[in-house]
Structure 1
């Protein structure tokens, strides 16, 4: 009888209204824990504002599904944003003599991103998720988006059935999410590497000239770098090549050293908190033991495990890149610098997301147990009437070696 009643539930999909929907939306989000297994729920959002995850994007929307009748209840929600990103590159026609100095031009598209589809566990298999996605796609189309994409766990069968089975999305890219705990001790930077903080303007120049043809590169990179949540962009050079930096980004790019690396840091801690729930007592005990031993003998600098079993925050490393034979080693130094910033900021983790084939992957410190080696991005072409343009149908394009992960979507 209870199942029959649930099948008859009718919902209305409408725009989120913070004044009356906050508690209901947060309750749905809390019920929908995202877990790597059935027993441990990893990275559960503890939201103060459900729209905060997309608010910093150029155009964003949050929808809720609400039951009809006298006892209205929010039973589902979805977030989406629209931006202009790189979907390919166009190589200029040049003579053989000028090939070395020619630069490829990015091909941009207006793309939409679906983030945080949630349906109450008591109201699933009723088509509510499908209604939310379809309504969001209508908004995407009305705002001129050519593609929509979303990210999910490769083992999330319910999500894949909905998006690839019913909504027409196809599996597209397999990024890797890398998580590094923040320890009680500072990570060593070393004397062989110079770390230089770039101004947002210089960072924008560097990213546009070196990374603008990377897939998913945001055309409004300046908005990201000037956002208060962006805590800085850092350039790493070998000390022996530090003279290559004269304070001018133009001079640096005109004659860069053999090896260099760059990354930026984003303050996710100010947007949301995370928590590991339902962890076995053994895990809790082992984590507590590492912290206790580290407090007792701090000079050993034991990599103790932070307390992940209560709400914690983290920093996100984005815009990772570099060139030269020592680039991976220099990037490792920058990741340590990001770790130290997170430690000073009261964080428990630093997180980044890169392509699974990223050449600099060996230079990114992480704990494999906490990381997700195969995230899954799915994509859909929203309107088949769009011309193929210079890149053709992006959904059918082969992956490159790198992607640019927008911190506003994390």
Structure 2
């Protein structure tokens, strides 16, 4: 346990708050952490007019991270007889590809990921967030992590001030989160593309053969693909390629192909758009009614985002360098959206800023976030893991990035 004294200069003048930072206890802390989650907005505004996106975790608050190989959740609690939880943070540690190749094999690094940092509005600007991050970084180093990183929206000035201004993180990557609603009608994949579904073992072989050098590719990809929340892996080819199994594909792949897997985030949390006017709700309901009554019109209907809904996440999106690889990526994404009908209201994918596949991924701009930002910091104990002094946190971005669905 760490006890820290925090200062705040507010309207009431200088005051001090003493909090204890400790591990989350599922037996006593669930109600307190859920209360903090409800007080804090999650994600960027979904649309104009004051609407915002909220997430409600299902089950225990560690459900969002318990699928990772190593995880920790910390809480900050005020002292005294009326003490309560006022802040929390989650973290995971794993081995991932750093994007730097060693002779004959990809270079893996051990990294810590910070997510779910929440501070109750009544206790902000007291340094509590910084203390939580520092404590989590100490745990990362004890677990052998060489780097720590986090993701935020580029418009989140408070988060950026904390991490880049006070905690020593550097702006690292700028991927885009592309979101498509799930309609009652099916999306039409490109007619020249053929999509097949792979088993978990075949998918792991393909990923390790073709994606092992991609930044943040997890060393335990088999555990991700075999997780109960993983809904399958799909491979699309273009140009009349006849599927003959993964061995034949790896030995002689076609010029244009793409692969991706689906993850059911609805098994961990539900999303909800709040703050919508009655007029917006009525208009969205009208589009759904018309879409159900006349699917042949292919109305771009708006799902009921104003009630708790499930979402799916597409991960492991990658393709060949062929000229029609982006078309294959569109076919894979459309197939997953169609599979999500009746199970989720939206499907999302996160792609690197320079990913050549992103131009063909169907999405709604109003639901998507093109201003995502990842920040990274090289931790002291790990030393970066490279004798040549190479620092991943200051390296140039690649064309692709692997987004682990366990950290969404």
TM-score by length of 2: 0.92
SS of 1:134's equivalent? helix
| Aligned mates of 2:147, 2:279 — CA distance in 1 | 45
| Aligned mates of 1:108, 1:35 — CA distance in 2 | 30
Aligned CA distance change for structure 1 residues 360 and 27 (closer, same or farther; 3 Å)? same
Count of residue correspondences: 395
Quick check: 1:7–1:126 contact (8 Å CA) kept in 2?
Answer: no
Quick check: 1:356–1:374 contact (8 Å CA) kept in 2?
Answer: no
| Equivalence for 1:57 | 68
| Aligned mates of 1:29, 1:23 — CA distance in 2 | 10
| Equivalence for 2:3 | none
Quick check: 1:107–1:391 contact (8 Å CA) kept in 2?
Answer: no
| Equivalence for 1:99 | none
Quick check: 1:40–1:277 contact (8 Å CA) kept in 2?
Answer: yes
| Aligned mates of 2:22, 2:381 — CA distance in 1 | 27
Aligned CA distance change for structure 1 residues 35 and 196 (closer, same or farther; 3 Å)? closer
Aligned CA distance change for structure 1 residues 132 and 16 (closer, same or farther; 3 Å)? same
| Equivalence for 2:180 | 180
| Aligned mates of 2:79, 2:14 — CA distance in 1 | 13
Unaligned runs of 5+ in 1: 93-103
Please state which structure has a larger fraction of its residues in helix: 1
The Cα of 1:50 is off from its aligned counterpart by 1.3
Deviation sequence 1:85-120 (CA, Å, 0-9, x none): 11123264xxxxxxxxxxx63111100000110000
Aligned CA distance change for structure 1 residues 85 and 391 (closer, same or farther; 3 Å)? farther
The Cα of 1:291 is off from its aligned counterpart by 1.5
| Equivalence for 2:198 | 198
| Aligned mates of 1:391, 1:187 — CA distance in 2 | 48
Output aligned runs, 1:8-407, within 5 Å: 8-37=16-45, 39-90=50-101, 92=103, 105-189=105-189, 192-238=192-238, 240-242=240-242, 245-247=243-245, 249-323=246-320, 324-345=322-343, 347-383=344-380, 386=383, 388-389=386-387, 392-407=390-405
What root-mean-square deviation, in Å, do the aligned CA atoms of Structure 1 and Structure 2 show?
2.0
| Equivalence for 1:97 | none
| Aligned mates of 1:254, 1:21 — CA distance in 2 | 53
Unaligned runs of 5+ in 2: 1-8
| Equivalence for 2:6 | none
Aligned CA distance change for structure 1 residues 250 and 273 (closer, same or farther; 3 Å)? same
Deviates more, 1:298-307 or 1:208-217: 298-307
| Aligned mates of 1:176, 1:208 — CA distance in 2 | 24
| Aligned mates of 1:47, 1:3 — CA distance in 2 | 37
The Cα of 1:190 is off from its aligned counterpart by 5.8
| Equivalence for 1:98 | none
Aligned CA distance change for structure 1 residues 31 and 47 (closer, same or farther; 3 Å)? farther
TM-score by length of 1: 0.92
SS of 2:89's equivalent? strand
Quick check: 2:89–2:114 contact (8 Å CA) kept in 1?
Answer: yes
| Aligned mates of 1:395, 1:27 — CA distance in 2 | 35
The Cα of 1:399 is off from its aligned counterpart by 0.4
